Chain A
Amino acid sequence: MSDVRRLYAAALAAVGVALAPGVAAAQISLHGRAEIGRLEHRIRLAGLLEPSSGTLLGGALGVVVGERFEAWGEAMGGHLVADSPAGEDRDVAEVQLLGGMHVRPWVTLQSGVSVRTYSTPLARQRWTTLRLGAEGRLPLAIGGLQGIVRAQWMPVVSVSGVARPDVALTTGAGLEWRGKRVSLSAVYTLERYDFPASDPSLRRLEEVSALRVRATIVRRATGRI
């Protein structure tokens, strides 16, 4: 089975877990999210560092089942401008499916699949990743305000034209304010990819850091599934 097929299987499994029959009688709520972010992409290839940055816009739809399960579908995209003469501008687009299970009120296990493409006038590179991780929430004194810390490991990363990375992980931290119908969050994330190479000096390294500001609207559904 190829990596891509395994990823799709994992995605289906994640959605299946999130909407398990055991929660059939639970109340569901629908979430809509708009997102804007500043993204910095740095890649070192053959000893050359190519930084680029830009603004991302995106949106997401989520389903929260009861107080335990949630599933999100997210899409975002933007234009990255090269910050060095050696680099070139590129467009980035990403879709992501993410499932979550709240094992404690303050801990959520997460699993998901994301597909990201970097496009230049000459080429397009597709990244497909499987993510496994957890998110912790720390309530703060002011009503509805929480601190967020998350870490994800990417056991499966498929990059077109490039070998699989040795190290692939992402971390993040931020703040979220939750109201009754609206929540606002600002989260810093860092993705790190270290690719194997026979010559360490020529090793391919990539890093994506971002600050994302999100606004989410909750629509509580009265029906049950």
Chain B
Amino acid sequence: MTRAVLLALLLAAPYAAAAQGTTGELLDRAAQHHAALDVEREITILRQIVSPNSPFIVTHEQRVLAYKYLGAALVVRGQADSGILYFRAAIERDPLVDLEPQTFTPRERQAFAQARRLTFALGGRAVAVDTIDPRTERLSFTVLSTHTAALRVELRSAGTPSGLPLYAGDNDGPRELQWDGLLADGRLAPPGRYELFVAGQSQLNQRADSVRLYFSVAHEHAPLEDTLPALRPDELLAEQHPAGRERQELLRGFGLAAGVLLMPRVLANGELHGGGRRLAGGIAGAASLAGLAGFVYRRRHREIPGNIAANAQNRAARAAANAAILERNRARLAETRVVVAPAAGVGP
């Protein structure tokens, strides 16, 4: 059963694609008839396209186009009211729709303007993928009201109730707005999803409308450097002598004294009965005192000034290196470019 359904879908797919192509061809033919002022044939084709019973797939854009041409054809045939109705249908579906002066007659455009006055809708041109340097370039948004209205345009981080006002005031027709990539606090807009919120109220029929255009913001800059981590304990020199070091000082002094005392006894020739033992005794006494003094000193001063200074120097060098890295990173961030792309909504 499942296989049969799959087979049916596979067989139907080419026909669907062909049908879509057929709608395009029909629209082309209708446009040709319109240019040739053959409105009857044009209307026939267009009615076929907009009919709910149309065998073809009709996209949103194709439907808007069909309504536009149908409205124009009816105006040419003298059925201006009906034409305006189709124009309004086109405007309701796409407020940005317009009649090109080189293709449509003033009468058709006049009827279209009437349709715009009767229909209140707000629109915005989809945000295109773009990259700007916020220091020198601006991002453009195009919003539109079909007729005169009080318009308010805000740029918001998606999902937040308020944002950066881009425009507030009267408007009639399309309006181009520019954004420098900064938020109200003067900072670059952080990466994420944003929405361009357009709200307005008609000044002709007091109707209100709003529209949201979603887009994503990303930052593009040179890769940032990692700062150096803080010095680990095993990278630092000991800043204090270990316990027991004072005994070592005592042993050094007494050891030196013993060595001096042994010299005349061991190395001198015993037959001379001399060796300057009194002289050696003087040095031995001094060495013993030095050992005792070292013992007392070390008990009171366990710090190792050389190591403390070396550690401080290492820390200072590391802090200076990190400051330099941060400065380089800051410079790179200052050259950040803002990449804008259309998005589907507030989130994936």
Do they bind each other? yes
Name the residue on A nearest B299 (C-beta): A141
> What residues of A have a CB within 8 angstroms of the CB of B287 in the complex?
147, 173, 175
Q: Are A138 and B286 in contact (CB under 8 A)?
A: no
Provided the pairs A138-B252, A173-B256, A207-B269 are in contact, do residues A190 and B276 lie with their beta carbons within 8 angstroms? Answer: yes
Does A141 lie within 8 Å of B263, measured CB to CB?
no
- Chain B positions within 8 Å of A175 at CB level: 256, 283, 286-287, 290
Residues in A whose Cβ lies below 8 Å from that of B256: 138, 147, 149, 173, 175
Residues B271 and A205 in contact, CB atoms below 8 Å apart = yes
Chain A 166-188: CB-based contact to B (< 8 A → 1; otherwise 0): 00010111110000000000111
Instruction: Give the bracket for the number of chain A residues in contact with chain B.
Output: 20 to 34
List the B side residues contacting A190 at CB < 8 Å.
263-264, 267-268, 275-276, 280
- Which segment of A16-24, A26-34, A37-45, A120-128 sits at the interface? A37-45
In the complex, what residues of A have CB within 8 A of residue B252's CB?
Answer: 138, 140, 147
* Also in contact, A141 and B249, with CB within 8 A (given A42-B272, A175-B290): yes
- Flag B273-288 by CB within 8 Å of A: 1 or 0 each: 1111001101100110
Q: Are B276 and A211 within 8 A (Cβ)? A: yes
Among the listed B279, B290, B294, which residue makes an inter-chain contact with A211, where contact means beta carbons less than 8 Å apart? B279
Q: Check A142/B275 contact, CB under 8 A, given A147-B287, A171-B263.
A: no
Q: Which of A183-197 contact B (CB under 8 A)?
A: 186-188, 190, 192, 194
Contact B290 A169 (CB under 8 A): no
Contact: B279 with A210, CB < 8 Å?
Answer: yes
Q: CA A42 – CA B286 in complex, angstroms?
A: 25
Distance of A31 Cα from B239 Cα, bound (Å) = 33
**B-contact 0/1 string along A73-88, CB 8 Å cutoff:** 0000000000000000
Judged by a CB distance under 8 angstroms, whether A49 is at the interface is yes
> Which residues of A are in contact with B by a Cβ distance under 8 Å?
38, 40, 42, 44, 49, 51, 138, 140-142, 145, 147, 149, 169, 171-175, 186-188, 190, 192, 194, 205, 207, 209-211
Which 6 pairs of residues, A with B, have the shortest CB-CB distance?
A209-B276, A141-B294, A211-B279, A188-B283, A147-B256, A141-B249
Interface residues of B (CB under 8 A from A): 246, 249, 252-253, 256, 259-260, 263-264, 267-269, 271-276, 279-280, 282-283, 286-287, 290-291, 293-295, 297-298
List 11 extra interface pairs beyond A173-B263, A173-B283, CB under 8 A.
Answer: A141-B293, A141-B297, A141-B298, A142-B290, A145-B290, A147-B253, A147-B287, A171-B263, A186-B282, A205-B269, A207-B269
List 21 contacting pairs A-B, 8 Å CB cutoff, sorted by A: A40-B279, A42-B272, A140-B290, A140-B291, A141-B298, A142-B290, A145-B294, A169-B267, A173-B280, A173-B287, A174-B283, A175-B256, A175-B286, A175-B290, A188-B279, A188-B283, A190-B275, A205-B272, A207-B268, A207-B275, A209-B280
